[in-house]
C-alpha cells in the first residue's frame, strides 16, 4: 500500500515542482532578446552565498564572509530585498537589471532579484532549494536564454 501511495504522489510532486516557475511569466506582446550566457546553480548555503555562522552569540547568527565580510546577513534574502525561491535569478545588474524575466531551457522562467560577487557580464545564477540540486545543475556554458527586460 505505501508503494501505491508513493507511486501516486511522486508524479504530482514532480508536476508541482515544475509549475513553481509558472508564477513568473514574461510580459505579453513583447518580443524577447536572445542571449548566450554561462549559467550556474546556487542555493542559500554559506558555500554558495558567502556566509558563515557567528559563534559570538551577539547580533545576527550569520555574518557575511564575502565582500561584506563580518557584516550581519539574513539568509535567503536577495539583494533586491525579496525572499529567494524557485525562479530567483542572480545576474550582473548592469547587464540584466532587477525585474528582468529570463527563460532558461531546463529550468523555466525566472526573475532577476539577486546579484553576486562572481556574477559579471553574461553570467546567470539559478536558485535551487538545496546545494545538491545546485551542484547537479552545475556550470553550463553557451546557454541560449530568452530575456525580457523591465
CATH code, domain with 26 = 2.40.40
Of all helices (H) and strands (E), which one includes residue 47?
Answer: helix 46-49
Residue 139 CA to residue 21 CA, distance in Å, equals: 20
Count of domains for the chain? 1
Identify the domain containing residue 110 by its residue range: 2-148
- Residue in the structure block whose three cell numbers are 508541482: 16
pLDDT tens-digit map of 73-101: 555 677 788 888 899 999 999 999 999 99
* pLDDT per position as a tens digit, 25-83: 888 889 999 999 999 998 877 666 664 555 555 544 444 445 555 555 555 677 788 88
How far is 103 from 27, CA to CA, in rounded Å? 12
Reported in sequence order, the residue ranges of 7-122 that DSSP labels E, i.e. its strands, are: 33-42, 51-53, 62-64, 88-91, 101-104, 108-114
Range in 8-17, 74-83, 127-136 with the lowest mean pLDDT: 8-17
**Per-residue pLDDT at 19 exceeds 90:** no
Q: How far apart are CA 15 and CA 30, in angstroms?
A: 28
Residue 9: count other Cβ atoms within 10 Å of its Cβ. 10
Q: What are phi and psi of 30, to 5 degrees?
A: -110, 140
Burial 104-132 (b: 16+ CB within 10 A, else e): beebbbbbbbbbbeebeebbbbbbbeebe
Amino acid at each position: 500500500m505505501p508503494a501505491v501511495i508513493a507511486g501516486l504522489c511522486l508524479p504530482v510532486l514532480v508536476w508541482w515542482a515544475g509549475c513553481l516557475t509558472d508564477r513568473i511569466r514574461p510580459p505579453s506582446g513583447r518580443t524577447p532578446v536572445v542571449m548566450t550566457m554561462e549559467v550556474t546553480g546556487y542555493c542559500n548555503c554559506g558555500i554558495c552565498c558567502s556566509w558563515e555562522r557567528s559563534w559570538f552569540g551577539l547580533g545576527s547568527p550569520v555574518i557575511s564572509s564575502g565582500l561584506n565580510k563580518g557584516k550581519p546577513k539574513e539568509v535567503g534574502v536577495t539583494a533586491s530585498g525579496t525572499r529567494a525561491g524557485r525562479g530567483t535569478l542572480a545576474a550582473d545588474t548592469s547587464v540584466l537589471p532587477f525585474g528582468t524575466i529570463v527563460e532558461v531551457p531546463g529550468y523555466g522562467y525566472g526573475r532577476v532579484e539577486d546579484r553576486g560577487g562572481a556574477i559579471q557580464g553574461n553570467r546567470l545564477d539559478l536558485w535551487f532549494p538545496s546545494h545538491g540540486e545546485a551542484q547537479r545543475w552545475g556550470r553550463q556554458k553557451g546557454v541560449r536564454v530568452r530575456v525580457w527586460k523591465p
